[in-house]
Structures are given as C-alpha cells and as structure tokens.
Structure 1
C-alpha cells in the first residue's frame, strides 16, 4: 500500500470511529456530518468524498462495527458459560448503542439495513457456537435457532442489566440457565 493509500485508510478509519462513537450516544438525526467531521478532525467534504453522505457513512459504520463484532465474538463451540461471557463482553461495550440504533430502524433505512445484517450475523454466530446442540436442518432446527436467538438477544441483556438492574454476574448466570433449559438435546417434546 502506498503512502497516499495508507493515509486515506487512516482518515477513513478515523471518520468511521468518530461516527460510530457519536451514534453510540446520540440519535441518528441528531448527528450531522459536521459533528462527525469535528470529531474526526476532517472536513465535511472529506466525509462526502469517502462515503457520499450521511447514509453512505451510516452503511459503512454498520459494516465496520459488524466486522469488529465478529472479531470480538470468538467463542468455543458448546461451552455455554464461555459463549455467554463473550456475548456479554460485547453487550457491555455496545449493548446500549445497539438498543438505541434498533429503536430507530423503522424510520432510518440505513439503520434498518444494519439491523437486518446484524440479525443475520448473530444467527450465523449462533449456528457456529451451538453447532453441537442444533438438530439437523429442518423445522426442529429453525425452532431451536429461534429459541437461542431470543435467549441471546440484546433486548434480554437490556432487560436484565438496565431495566431490572441485575449485576453482570447474575445476568450472565440467568442467560446460561436459559440457554441450558432450551438445549434441544434435553427436550423430549420436540
């Protein structure tokens, strides 16, 4: 990579980090390109040149955050406590922002696209980390995946940690208990 390309990549990353940081704390509509430019130490024109505008920036931020999440969510297959610990590490860092973004998905197309992609990535992650317990492809597998998705959703984390005020340890234990209780290998009615 040449020096110019490297400098462009550094600038692009700085803008992505600035926009992500702002959107993790504030509503999409409350963040302008000028806010992002000020945070990143660049001009608005630089952002437009790299991303085409606010919606293009939002799409790029969503992709960038998704790639960061994938790196941080490495967990051993079948180890429920380790899986939950990895998930909680991510939710403790980004859960409030996830909830904030999700609350806006009905009115901001870029966020709706990001949410759909995040759900797809979460499902793929669930298929990977719970591969040892999922039934063969078919209706039983879909049912099991739906249960695992609900049991690991950010809104359940929010309920336990924010709404009910559980400690992280108690919330992790609750999620482990829930995941253990829905293990299809232990169900006799399926």
Structure 2
C-alpha cells in the first residue's frame, strides 16, 4: 500500500522535473538567440547554457528547429500574459507595450532580420503579427470602426504606430529616452484616433 501511495508522487515529481528542464532549455536558447544569429547557436551551446546534455535537448525538442518553434511559442505565450492593458487607456497601453519592447525588442529585431532564411523564425514572425493584431483589436476596441475597409485602415495605422521597429527607431537609432519615446507613441496614437475625424 505504501509503495502504491508513493508512486503517483514520484511520477508527479518526475513530470515536474522534466518540465523544469524543458523550461530551462528554452530559457537558455532564448537568451542565446537574443544575442546571436540563429545559425551561430548550436545545440551544444544551448545544452551548455542550460546545464544539460545535447541528448537531453534532442529528446525534449527533436532538434534545433523543434527547439526554435517551442521557444518562440513560449515567448509568445509570455508576452500574452504580460501585455495586459485596459481598453482605451492610451498611456497604459503604451506603458505595457514599452515594458515588453524594452525587455524583448532588440531580440525581436534580430529575429525578424532573419525570417527570410530561417523557416522557424518566419513562422514565429507570422504568429507574432497575428498576436499583435489581436491585441490591438482588444485594447483599441473602443475606437476601431466596427467592420469593413475603415476598420482595416485604422488597424493598419495602429499596427504601424506600435510596431517594434518604431520603438527601435526612437530608442536605438535616434537615442530618445524611454519617456520621450513613450510620449511620441502616445501622441501618434492620439493623432490617428478614427473618432477625431467624426468630432471635427
């Protein structure tokens, strides 16, 4: 009886340990790919960073492309959790977006630069665009037209005004402070509010 009672506990502990190892490998890969080109990071590099064997990485993910898909899904799911902002509050929306970009923006730009030659990154980029569009539809639900070409036009404007490359332009290329860059994005979002035209 005692052995039977302890078996589920041991299985649960093993599953938890396997999941912890899986997350550690993904964190290691994400860290390396945030600094280096995809092709320059080997499974050996990831294994050493995570403190596991290469075989462990292969067993968990099947290879480099499988690992990349898992990492990008994992990063996307974390972004979904952290990007919580009240609908219509432009200041809060921009603050939440900048918190994400300040943490992940440089990696996002590096990954995006490789999407034409790395299928895993191309898939991740398509997923990220869809996720960002859904986020825009949610946080700007109060101002977007209901449907049709006007809605698409408004979404395109909001997409451009909140794109990571605009963050890069302001923060990296032009050297704006975070406060000044956030102000610029707030002003831009306010200026493209479709409701302004109806009020005029």
State the TM bucket, normalised to the shorter chain: over 0.9
Say which SS state the counterpart of residue 143 (structure 2) adopts.
Answer: coil
Say which SS state the counterpart of residue 132 (structure 1) adopts.
Answer: coil
Give the greater-gyration-radius structure (CA): 2
CA distance in 2, matches of 1:74, 1:29: 33
What are the within-5 Å matches in structure 2 for residues 115-154 of structure 1? 115-154=125-164
Paired position in structure 2 for 1:2:
12
1:3 CA displacement:
1.3
Q: Deviations over 1:125-161 (max 9, x none)?
A: 0000000000011110010000000000000000000
Aligned counterpart for 1:43 among listed residues 53, 68, 79:
53
1:108 CA displacement:
0.2
Paired position in structure 1 for 2:190:
180
TM-score (ref. length: structure 1): 0.98
Which residues of structure 1 form unaligned runs of 5+?
A: none
Q: Deviations over 1:88-121 (max 9, x none)?
A: 0000000000000000000000000000000000
TM-score (ref. length: structure 2): 0.93
Structure 1 runs (4+) greater than 2 angstroms displaced: none
Count of matched residue pairs: 188
Which residues of structure 2 form unaligned runs of 5+?
A: 1-10
Paired position in structure 2 for 1:24:
34
Say which SS state the counterpart of residue 25 (structure 1) adopts.
Answer: coil
Question: Cα RMSD over matched residues?
Answer: 0.7
Paired position in structure 1 for 2:90:
80
Q: Deviations over 1:57-92 (max 9, x none)?
A: 000000000001011100000000000000000000
CA distance in 2, matches of 1:57, 1:63: 10
